[in-house]
Amino acid sequence: VLPPGQSGEIVVTHLATRDYPFIRYRTGDVGVLGQQACACGRGLPVLSEIQGRSTDFVIAADGTVMHGLALIYVLRDIPGVASFKIVQESLDLTTVYVVPGPAFQPDDPGRIASGLRRRLGEAVVIDVKQVDVLPAEASGKFRYVVSRVAASVPAGR
């Protein structure tokens, strides 16, 4: 469990059903825990914000399928990145849209590209573009990672 105020993937466990409990079910959504405890009196944390969908799966140049969180962690480790969206255009091209924060450094685009290449393949072109704002999807949710490749790869690969 992350500290209050920090965004992370929403994972739930539902034990109230006797036949089929959900244990650590990954919803695919990203949210933020609030500071206050649940008003029900149990003292459990509550969600203060749901930020949207977390990610797609991506495919590295060598065919390895990985969860988009593997790419998200690269950008979350750079303090100057206020927000971002990673779009895997093809196996050899990934575009990263970055909204820079006050601590953004001139070498951050290079650090982003290096970190993503380590995961996707050293020959992959990483195009880092600085933008002022990232639009949400038509649904109103936000996706941190979108793969145009994963959708076109046959099942079982």
Q: Where are the domains of the chain?
A: 7-52, 55-152
What span, in angstroms and rounded, lies between the C-alpha atoms of 9 and 139? Answer: 18
pLDDT tens-place string over residues 10-62: 787 777 776 766 677 767 677 788 888 888 888 888 888 776 555 678 899 99
Q: Using only C-alpha atoms, what is the Rg of the chain?
A: 18
pLDDT of residue 55: 61
What span, in angstroms and rounded, lies between the C-alpha atoms of 68 and 95? Answer: 14
pLDDT of residue 40: 85
- Strands 57-59 and 65-67 turn out to be antiparallel
Q: Select from 90, 92, 72 the least CA-distant residue to 153.
A: 90
Average pLDDT, stretch 1-15? 77
What span, in angstroms and rounded, lies between the C-alpha atoms of 54 and 43? Answer: 27
Nearest 5°: CA angle at 93, between 52 and 100?
50
Q: Specify the higher pLDDT residue, 41 or 132.
A: 132
3-state secondary structure of 157: coil
- Rounded to 10 degrees, the C-alpha dihedral 128/130/76/94 comes to -30
For the domain 55-152, what is the CATH code? 3.30.300.30
What span, in angstroms and rounded, lies between the C-alpha atoms of 143 and 69? Answer: 11
Q: Specify the higher pLDDT residue, 63 or 7.
A: 63
Q: Specify the higher pLDDT residue, 88 or 156.
A: 88
pLDDT tens-place string over residues 59-104: 999 988 888 888 998 998 899 999 999 999 999 999 999 999 999 9
Terminal-residue alpha carbon distance, the chain: 32
- Cα 122 to its chain centre, rounded Å, is 21
